[in-house]
Amino acid sequence: MDCACGHAHTVALDPSGTPVPLTPAPVALHGHLTCRDKAQLLTALDLLQDHADASRAEPGCLRFDIAQSDDPMVWTLAEVFADEDAFAAHQARTASSPWGQRSRDMGRDFRRHPAQVLIRPEVPSDHAALDTLLTLAFGGPSEARLLRSLRADGDLSHSLVVHVEGVPVGHVALSPLRAAGPAFALAPLTVHPAMQRRGIGRALIEAALRAAAAPVVVLGDPAVYAGSGFVPADPVSPHAGPGLQIHGTLPPGSTIAHAAAFATL
């Protein structure tokens, strides 16, 4: 939907996937902002875009969408924050901002509730958001580029997304390994910085193992993967070392090779 400020927004929600129990749950806010007169409408048109941009820049803000309805005096909002602390920080910043100061008398009808966290396969509409998530989580573009290359090469065997109302907050990919039998590489694995240490990574790993139903090799911190049953791996590989781990078994002395996209890392 395009609003009168000239920017495109969406408030579509995505209810698909299997629930991932999470404590604390993210906080969602949905509802309407109503301008009572032309002066308030002009204030909204003048300040709302800056407020939206500042909100989206908050570390704990996962979603901030706003759109004018068919009635230009009424705006529809959908917001999601990582937890109660993130929502409280948003409220504090808003209260002291030009928007907070000048919009106090506008009508507000919002519903606040815990947001459900869900896991499902990647869909095409996730691609841009996954680029953003991986770049944010890894502090650079390499892993986002890896995911794009796996997808483009036809080597993305499984791509699973944890999302909150359609916003990806976690992701894991499986790609085929050349090995003595069916096997997969698990990479990249990422969780939004504001959502880490709450079980999303473990849920993604376990979902990937179920999807693979075959040996899975990973290169990473053993402390992260040991709890999901990974053990040190001994296959012949350019990545051999303490971080190379496997779930399942391959014949002793096996040689493995990752998909071509990994050569760019």
User: Which class for 238: exposed (0-12), middle (13-18), buried (19 or more C-beta within 10 A)?
Assistant: exposed
CB neighbour burial string for 212-232, b if at least 16 within 10 angstroms, e if fewer: bebbbbbbeeeeebeebebee
3-state secondary structure of 70: coil
Calpha distance 115→76 (Å, rounded): 18
In the chain, where are the structural domains located? 18-115, 118-264
pLDDT tens digits, 212-250: 999 999 999 998 999 999 999 888 888 888 899 999 999
**CATH of region 118-264, choose from 3.40.630.30, 3.30.1360.200, 3.40.50.300, 3.30.365.10:** 3.40.630.30
Contact (Cβ atoms closer than 8 angstroms) between residue 66 and residue 52 = yes
Residue 8 has a pLDDT of 37
Average pLDDT over residues 12-32: 90
Coil, strand or helix at 252: coil
> In angstroms, rounded to a whole number, what is the distance separating the alpha carbons of residues 102 and 99?
5
* Inter-residue contact 167 to 63 (CB < 8 Å): yes
Average pLDDT, whole number, for the chain?
A: 93
What does DSSP say about strands 216-219 and 231-232: parallel, antiparallel, or unpaired?
A: unpaired
Q: Is the pLDDT of residue 204 over 50?
A: yes
pLDDT value for 241: 86
CATH of domain 18-115: 3.30.70.100
| CB-based contact 76:66 (threshold 8 Å) | yes
- Write down the pTM of the prediction: 0.90
Cα dihedral 96, 102, 104, 110 sign = negative
